[in-house]
Amino acid sequence: MRKLIFPSVLVIAGLLGAGAAVGARDQCGSAWIDQCEASNNGSQVDVGGTVNQPGSTGGFGSGGTGGSQGGGSGGNGSGTGAGGNAPAAEECPIVGCRGNYTVVTYPDVTIEDLASFVPARPSLGGEPAGFGVVGTPTNIVAGASTHTLTGPLLGWDVTVRFRPAGYVFDYGDGSGARTTTGGATWASLGLPQFSPTSTSHVYRERGTYTVSLTLQYSADVDFGSGWRPVPGYVNAPAPPYTLEVLEVRTALVDRTCAENPTGPGC
How would you write the pLDDT of the chain (266 residues) with one tens digit per residue? 444 444 443 434 344 444 444 444 444 444 444 444 545 554 444 444 454 555 544 444 444 444 444 444 444 544 444 545 655 656 655 555 555 655 567 788 988 988 899 999 999 999 999 999 999 999 999 999 999 999 998 888 999 999 999 999 999 999 999 999 999 999 999 999 999 999 999 999 999 999 999 999 999 999 999 999 999 999 999 999 999 999 987 777 778 888 888 877 67
How many domains is the chain partitioned into structurally?
A: 2
227 and 159 in one domain?
yes
pLDDT at residue 22, as a whole number: 40
pTM for the model stands at: 0.57
Domain termination site, one of 82, 103, 124 = 103
**260: in domain:** no
143 and 221 in one domain?
yes
40 and 21 in one domain?
yes
**254: in domain:** no
CA–CA separation, 260 and 266 (whole Å): 8
Q: Within 13 A of 76's CA, how many CA atoms are on the CB side?
A: 0
Instruction: Report the SS3 class of residue 180.
Output: coil
**255: in domain:** no
150 and 86 in one domain?
no
71 and 194 in one domain?
no
Neighbouring-strand partners of residue 134? none
Longest dimension (CA), the chain: 150
CATH of the domain at 229: 2.60.40.10
**235: in domain:** yes
84 and 35 in one domain?
yes
70 and 180 in one domain?
no
pLDDT at residue 53, as a whole number: 52
pLDDT at residue 25, as a whole number: 43
48 and 141 in one domain?
no
Element (H, E) at 237: strand 227-237
**22: in domain:** yes
**92: in domain:** yes
235 and 118 in one domain?
yes
Contact status, residue 217 vs residue 160, Cβ threshold 8 Å: no
Domain termination site, one of 80, 103, 126 = 103
165 and 85 in one domain?
no
CA–CA separation, 184 and 169 (whole Å): 15
206 and 137 in one domain?
yes
211 and 153 in one domain?
yes
**265: in domain:** no
CA–CA separation, 9 and 27 (whole Å): 23
User: What residue numbers bound the domain in which 191 lies?
Assistant: 111-246
